[in-house]
């Protein structure tokens, strides 16, 4: 058996969770767009910059979940 023979199993197990995270990332994208517009209109509101950073983390969530599940399968 090669090094990566069981890695697709981790991908398949993590796929449903990644799909849920994909929906959450779409919500994060909407929050990021709204936060960016508001922070451009009122630059004194630094809390919207933190909200935009949280939204970017939500957008990256599906990839993080798939990588985590893939790395959990011992080979």
pLDDT given at position 46 = 66
Measured in whole angstroms, the distance separating CA 47 from the mean position of its chain's CA atoms is 21
pLDDT of residue 26: 85
**Cα–Cα dist 24/18, whole Å:** 10
- Mean pLDDT in order along the chain per 10 residues (75 residues): 60 80 84 80 70 80 81 73
Give the closest residue to 34 by CA, choosing from 58, 17, 18: 58
């Amino acid at each position: 058996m090669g090094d990566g023979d069981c890695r697709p199993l981790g991908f398949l197990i993590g796929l449903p969770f990644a799909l849920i995270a994909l929906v959450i990332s779409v919500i994060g994208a909407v929050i990021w767009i709204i936060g960016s517009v508001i922070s451009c209109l009122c630059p004194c509101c630094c809390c919207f910059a933190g909200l935009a950073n949280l939204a970017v983390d939500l957008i990256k969530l599906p990839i993080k979940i798939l990588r985590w599940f893939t790395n959990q399968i011992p080979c």
